[in-house]
């Protein structure tokens, strides 16, 4: 088997670090190569590729967000009293009492 160039090896290394993305890429390749997965019409193949790309994007962005949260939390002191959930809990400004 011929050895891979550094340019070819780097994307493979990156995919190996992200098995979820690797699985999606393999699924898209399977559809593109028409491996006999029961897809008869081009429209069906197109819809399956679109769905896989959507799932890939969702997984990639979710992973990115989780990574960014982890990095930003590492900058905060452990005794810092900040809610780290990322969700807003405010219901807005409460109305003030009417003056007479």
In a domain, 83, yes or no: no
**Distance between CA atoms of 100 and 91, rounded to whole angstroms?**
27
Domain ranges, residue 69: 10-75
Q: Is 49 within 8 Å of 67 (Cβ atoms)?
A: no
What is the value of pTM for the model shown? Answer: 0.58
In a domain, 97, yes or no: no
In a domain, 50, yes or no: yes
In a domain, 90, yes or no: no
Q: Name which of 67, 31, 22 is nearest 49 in CA terms.
A: 31
Q: How many domains is the chain partitioned into structurally?
A: 1
In a domain, 82, yes or no: no
DSSP for 31-57, please give it.
Answer: HHTT-SSS--SHHHHHHHHHHHHHHHH
Instruction: Provide the pLDDT for residue 37.
Output: 63
What residues of the chain score a pLDDT lower than 70?
1, 36-38, 76-90, 99-100
**Distance between CA atoms of 58 and 6, rounded to whole angstroms?**
29
């Amino acid at each position: 088997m011929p050895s891979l160039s550094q340019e070819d090896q780097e994307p493979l290394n990156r995919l190996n670090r992200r098995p979820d993305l690797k699985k999606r890429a393999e699924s898209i390749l399977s559809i593109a190569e028409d491996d006999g997965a029961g897809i008869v019409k081009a429209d069906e193949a197109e819809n399956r590729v679109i769905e896989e790309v959507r799932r890939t994007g969702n997984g990639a962005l979710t992973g990115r967000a989780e990574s960014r949260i982890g990095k930003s939390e590492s900058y905060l002191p452990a005794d810092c009293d900040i809610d780290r959930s990322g969700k807003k809990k405010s219901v807005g400004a409460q109305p003030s009492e009417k003056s007479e």
